[in-house]
């Protein structure tokens, strides 16, 4: 997956991720450098705008279930 593709996907989900308390997302690793191969995963660092509780983390995990459909093998 190319860097621009990942950034476009994240941008498309920006509003919902913000509602879930995500302050910022940082892409790093081979995808960020546009050196990814077919078996590369997508590395993201997530910063929250407030302390997250257990149920909020469950909501984020549920929402990120879209990764199974967007990223081959669900490797995010």
pTM over 0.95: no
Q: Tokens at residue 31, please? A: 């995808």
> Which DSSP symbol is given to 53?
-
CB-based burial label for 42 (10 Å; 0-12, 13-18, 19+): buried
Q: Give the number of other CB atoms < 10 A from CB of residue 43.
A: 16
64 and 9 in contact (C-beta within 8 Å)? no
Instruction: Give pLDDT tens digits for 30-41.
Output: 999 999 998 888
For the question of residue 41 being annotated catalytic, the response is yes
Catalytic site includes residue 4 = no
- DSSP string for 17-32: HHHTTEEEEEEESTTT
**8 vs 73, higher pLDDT:** 8
- Return the domain boundaries, the chain: 3-74
- Each residue's pLDDT tens digit, 11-66: 888 898 888 888 998 999 999 999 999 888 889 888 888 777 778 777 877 777 65
Catalytic residue among 4, 39, 41, 49: 41
Catalytic residue among 4, 39, 43, 49: 43
């Amino acid at each position: 997956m190319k860097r621009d593709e990942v950034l476009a996907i994240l941008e498309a989900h920006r509003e919902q991720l913000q509602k879930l308390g995500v302050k910022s997302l940082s892409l790093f690793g081979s995808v960020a450098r546009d050196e990814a191969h077919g078996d590369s995963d997508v590395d993201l660092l997530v910063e929250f705008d407030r302390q997250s509780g257990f149920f909020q983390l469950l909501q984020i995990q549920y929402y990120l279930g879209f990764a199974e459909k967007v990223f081959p093998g669900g490797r995010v």
